Structure 1
Amino acid sequence: MIKSAITVSLVEEARGGPFVFWNGLQDAFEQAAKHGFDAVEVFAPGPDAVDPQELKQLCDTHQLSVAAVGTGAGMVKLGLSLTDPDAGKRKAAREFVKQMIDFGGQFAAPAIIGSMQGRWGGSLSRDAALEMLKEALEELGQHALHSQVPLIYEPLNRYETNLIKTMADGVQYLESLSTQNVRLLADLFHMNIEESDIADAIRTGGKHIGHVHFVDSNRQATGLGHMDYAPIAAALKEIGYAGYASAESLPIPDSETAAAKTIAAFNKYLR
């Protein structure tokens, strides 16, 4: 059964980004529980920024899970990338992600590689960047096994990366890895830009899809854009997807409305 989740950002440098809640963990968990979500996806400044005991208490109090943890603060705050031409910076990026994997693993929550994948250009060729990314995913995917969680890799749209942008390319790339512990994130916003048919792309992703960002075409909450969710929901059910559909959307016009719109659409199409 597909489960619902909603995002909270604790990273001040990312303010204005596509996260529903911005007023701390306690507020996010209270709001998520009030609206009937199953889990919260946490975008934290780093592995030591959240007290695990506090997070566990919030989960217990509100009967919620942690759906996933983001790693993008490594890029936003520290300027780290898994495809940086500097070997030392690549190593630091991998260490940051490992620590986030270990943090999330305490809650059976996978870590997401999005912006930290970087991009190619200048002196760095696309082939070289993809090889660097491959080495990182091999290492990090195996590391995630220690926490018994997958590593989630997110294809992004052309304005955010020039590496892997579609589900088909993501599947091909994952199937070139030795590790079997990396899954794809199907983000409906990015897919709306890059895919000719989102439902068909989900079928292509199939068993490789490990997380979904449930959002509308304009990066606002579901129902505030022009996305057609019926065929998307049918495709997710067809592939037997049983992970989270998480609201990574802008808090427009406000967090309360974004949460209400998302859960209404989730209950209509995916519950």
Structure 2
Amino acid sequence: MSKSAITVSLVQEARGGPFVFWDGLSDAFSRAAALGFDAIEIFAPGPDAVDRGELQQLVDSTGLGVAAVGTGAGMVKHGLSLTDPDPGRRIAAREFIESMIDFGGQFSAPAIIGSMQGRYGGEISHEQALDYLAESVEILASRAASYNVPLIYEPLNRYETNLINTVSDGVAFLGRLATDNVKLLADLFHMNIEEANIAEAIVAGAQHIGHVHLVDSNRRAAGLGHMDYSPIASALRAIDYDGYLCAEAFPLPDSQTSAEKTIETVQQFFS
């Protein structure tokens, strides 16, 4: 059975972005536990921005897990990507993600590669960008394996990257890798833009899907848009998905309402 999770952002440069909680780890863990969530997904400025002892104490006191850690601050704060034409910048991007893998790995949480995948264009062709991405992902997946967690790769919509936009594109990319320690993140907001049929895309992705961002068509909390969750829930049951359904949504009209609506939708469709 799937587990529920909710996002907290600690990155001030991303203020206004699609993360539900914004007021620190203690606040997020407390409110998530009170509502019945299973875990927290953390979007942090970097691995040293979180006190490991404090985080362990919150995990122990609430019983919540750490679902995943985002790496997007590498792009937001430092402009780093794995497909940068400058080899030194690509190495810096990989080292940032490695540090986040090490941070999350201590809590059995995989790291997510989303915006840090970058784009192609100018002197870098699509194929060259995919080669750069694959080279780094192989290394990063091996690092993640040392913590017995997968590396999570997220296809994004066309307005955020021109590399890999659909689940099928993501599966094709995984097919060019030697490692089998990479899973796809199925983000319902991105899928709402790029997939002809979200449920069918999930079934086609099957065992390659390792994480789900539960959000509505307008990037508000699940249940505050016009997405039909019945076929999506059926598709996830059909592939025996037992990972996290994590709310990565705008805190609109406010964080508490977004969190409450999310858990209500989880209980209605995915329990």
- The bucket for the TM-score relative to the shorter chain is over 0.9
The structural deviation recorded for 1:122 is 1.1
Q: 1:22 corresponds to which residue?
A: 22
Q: 1:261 corresponds to which residue?
A: 261
Q: 1:226 corresponds to which residue?
A: 226
TM norm structure 1? 0.99
Q: 2:95 corresponds to which residue?
A: 95
Q: Does 1:36 align with 2:43?
A: no
Q: Runs (4+) of structure 1 moved beyond 4 Å?
A: none
Query: Secondary structure at the residue paired with 1:48?
Result: helix
How many residue pairs get matched? 271
Q: Does 1:161 align with 2:180?
A: no
Query: Secondary structure at the residue paired with 1:241?
Result: coil
Superimposed CA distance per residue, residues 33-87 of structure 1 (whole angstroms, 9 cap, x where no aligned partner)? 0111000000000011101111010011111000000000000001100000000
Q: 2:121 corresponds to which residue?
A: 121
The structural deviation recorded for 1:28 is 0.3
Q: Does 1:252 align with 2:252?
A: yes
- The code of the aligned residue for 2:138 comes to E
- The code of the aligned residue for 1:160 comes to E
Name the CA distance, whole Å, in 1 between partners of 2:101 and 2:213: 19
Q: Does 1:175 align with 2:175?
A: yes
Name the CA distance, whole Å, in 2 between partners of 1:203 and 1:223: 22
Superimposed CA distance per residue, residues 165-209 of structure 1 (whole angstroms, 9 cap, x where no aligned partner)? 001111111011000000000000000000000000000110000
Query: Secondary structure at the residue paired with 1:184?
Result: strand
Q: Does 1:45 align with 2:45?
A: yes
Q: 2:210 corresponds to which residue?
A: 210
Q: 1:189 corresponds to which residue?
A: 189
Q: For structure 1, which runs of at least 5 residues remain unmatched after alignment?
A: none
TM norm structure 2? 0.99
Name the CA distance, whole Å, in 2 between partners of 1:144 and 1:124: 28
Name the CA distance, whole Å, in 2 between partners of 1:41 and 1:65: 9
Q: 1:7 corresponds to which residue?
A: 7
Q: 1:79 corresponds to which residue?
A: 79
Name the CA distance, whole Å, in 2 between partners of 1:52 and 1:148: 19
- The code of the aligned residue for 2:134 comes to K
Query: Secondary structure at the residue paired with 1:17?
Result: coil
Q: 2:135 corresponds to which residue?
A: 135
- The code of the aligned residue for 2:246 comes to S
Q: For structure 2, which runs of at least 5 residues remain unmatched after alignment?
A: none
> What is the root-mean-square deviation of aligned Cα atoms in Å?
0.5
Superimposed CA distance per residue, residues 241-266 of structure 1 (whole angstroms, 9 cap, x where no aligned partner)? 00000000000000000000000000
Name the CA distance, whole Å, in 1 between partners of 2:222 and 2:110: 24
Name the CA distance, whole Å, in 2 between partners of 1:236 and 1:220: 21
Query: Secondary structure at the residue paired with 2:47?
Result: coil
The structural deviation recorded for 1:123 is 1.2
Name the CA distance, whole Å, in 2 between partners of 1:60 and 1:230: 34
Q: 2:236 corresponds to which residue?
A: 236
